Amino acid sequence: DGGITQSPKYLFRKEGQNVTLSCEQNLNHDAMYWYRQDPGQGLRLIYYSQIVNDFQKGDIAEGYSVSREKKESFPLTVTSAQKNPTAFYLCASSVVSGNTIYFGEGSWLTVV
């Protein structure tokens, strides 16, 4: 089954802790992305990667980190420096030459 798999779907974090959200794709896409969604805010780009071992900051990268060691994987770490991390996180991918983005099912992160 081709697609983008995000895990976990729900995650609770204590303040001061780092958490890592997993994103794996088997679509053979070169580009991968992380978006954050808050109510009424639409989707905002956190980080993106066009190729393995390379990634760029998006509009709201502060308090987040990523790695791209494999083409299939683009994990996102939400660090303790992120002031308001409670949100819905969406991973996505696309072919580099095209614009259409395919999303995973998302991960809900709640800080308790």
Partner 1 sequence: GQQVMQIPQYQHVQEGEDFTTYCNSSTTLSNIQWYKQRPGGHPVFLIQLVKSGEVKKQKRLTFQFGEAKKNSSLHITATQTTDVGTYFCATGGSGGGADGLTFGKGTHLIIQP
Which residues form the interface with partner 1 (CB under 8 A)? 30-31, 33, 35, 40-45, 48, 50, 56, 58-59, 90, 94, 96-106
Looking at the Cβ atoms of 84 and 97, the one nearer to partner 1 is 97
By beta-carbon proximity to partner 1, the closer residue of 59 and 69 is: 59
CB of 14 to partner 1, least distance (A): 25
State the nearest-atom distance from the C-beta of 107 to partner 1, in Å. Answer: 10
In sequence order, what E strands does 1-112 have? 4-7, 10-13, 19-25, 31-38, 42-51, 54-57, 64-66, 76-78, 87-94, 102-103, 107-111
Q: Which is nearer to partner 1, 18 or 41 (CB)?
A: 41
Least gap, CB of 88 to partner 1 (angstroms): 9
What per-residue string of b and e applies to 55-81 under the rule 16 or more CB within 10 Å gives b?
Answer: beebebbeebbbebeebbebbbebeee
Q: How far is the CB of 40 from partner 1 (least distance, A)?
A: 7
Q: Which is nearer to partner 1, 59 or 62 (CB)?
A: 59
CA distances from 88 to 9, 69, 81, 98 (A): 10, 24, 18, 25
